[in-house]
Structure 1
């Protein structure tokens, strides 16, 4: 964003995602499918930081909560509605249809981006440090690879330990390099801001809960309750709709109430939802499952957008693009870690159970996974009470109180 216009970066990211989708759709082997998914990842990694950085640059500060709510709606609505759409597409076709549907949407997105997007940032033409890019790739890539391998191998496996060590060492060198450079690729000084760090941690925990629960729920419906794929998607549809509504509303509420009320309330509801999912049995009714899902789809977006808005608003304007990139990167890392841990717990719990019915054993494993999400929710709830109100909101409140005193 400092070297290339938002318009060009958006087009590049969308075209990468389009090419990756087409490669995946027509892939004759898993290896080529994986390459297609990696190319899709390039597009996703670019587009998300630009979304939040552009919102901060375009919208006035008093309306930023609403803008962030719309942005959060886009991000949170995808994993919420994804299983529903995937279930419908798998019901009428096969898995290739999912990637083809991506391609159709992306063609429209490329046309819209070409016609309407303008860049709000002044280009500085900063020199790109290739060593920093390499260290970043090895650092974050190594950690994600390690935890991804953990779901297939044990945590003591060399396929987990080696990439984890490489990732940690690379990140240490990357961090030292960014802190000593006069023009760092990513200004890590944003992490010295307490308000930003608290908001970022809350976003990470929220995203971890989202991916863990959205991974477990379709598995439970299909493998423990023996519900068909198409019906699985329909069961998750109400939650997806509610998620979209609450995501949008949370942004509006943030502008009026600030984060101190919304974020704790959201984590309270999320905690109850995770605990309720942990009590599921193979005889659970569909109504109960939908109710549990609705709790998560209310709680998660109610805290996600306000937490992210408070984090970014805690930074000075010059660090907004860096802050957006940091949040997005750490969010994706924790998402990968949370999914890997959930998968391991699901498998381990299923093996430890001793029921004669395989569906009951699978449900025990799912309980372990939801208890992990419950722990993340408790951590988020504790941290939520430390979230900071942006300075402009504090000033607005102070002015209102002074005006009230003067009137009396």
Structure 2
């Protein structure tokens, strides 16, 4: 009985420790010199940065994290990350699997040292970053300067995506198709301060009544700036070759290295996702989109009877949008579904509900803002309008991909 009693006592002491180990979100952290090492590894994800600041609203300054709700010790952002500052020297990070596919690494910067996660990718969710016990002894070094995560947003799996022959799940939760027609440009989003067009490529096999279409490029107009991102026409797809092309304010440029920022205001940024053929485009405080280039494969061509020949693999974009602020008057093929009280006119309960009215959305060029439903005036969206952006939930996908945006 005495032995049994001792065993029970030992087990009683061990159980709390085991439970703590199972649920402790701590991540091993390695110190490094932030002045000599880039915080985000080359070609590894988009960056989101949060800096404590007593002078700012809510006590924090955020960069490339979307629209963030800030309160004492807590920053919750629309890109899927939540930062909980539990102590002056410690932050706990949680991310949504519906919005984030991978966290490559995280960095926390203190006054004189920095610490980054050892595991790549980071598998714990949530995970905790803090100083080492030795550095904790120095109060001036313990305060956090900033915390930064390098990550990949979800690519065509949940909210706001457009993939393949355009199939859309709008902000109202109604599924529909919008085909437009080949060799034309259509406005996806038209707001007072942002206009996004898509260039459609495609073909119409003999006997078909409509074009099969895909999106080959996007054009962004924001204030005095314009940006285009496209995928080149190629006969055979080689995944080892980067096939993306860019222009900014009418001038072509190469994406050298892992990122690009517009000059001088850095309103627009482009970050590589992986080593080639995928980028994350961000318009500061407004939106972001992950663009992944890919071809129509042989099997897909056969199954869907596209009739694609040997001279063009119809390389196109899969697109994963995220919006940080939209006005209540936003329009466009995608934007209209975010209007308060929008009633979708498509027929329900059929295999392919089609959104018509291509004439309302067509534009004269990739950077034109002259579609009939245009709302663009180069006027910033009022801060109060941010509250009209619906809360987003996860969305389904299909074999041919989809443009989905669900509230």
TM-score range, shorter chain: under 0.3
Bigger proportion of residues as helix: 1
Q: Specify the structure having the higher radius of gyration (Cα).
A: 2
Structure showing greater relative contact order (alpha-carbon pairs closer than 8 Å, 6 or more residues apart): 1
Question: If the length of structure 1 is used for normalisation, what is the TM-score?
Answer: 0.22
Bigger proportion of residues as strand: 2
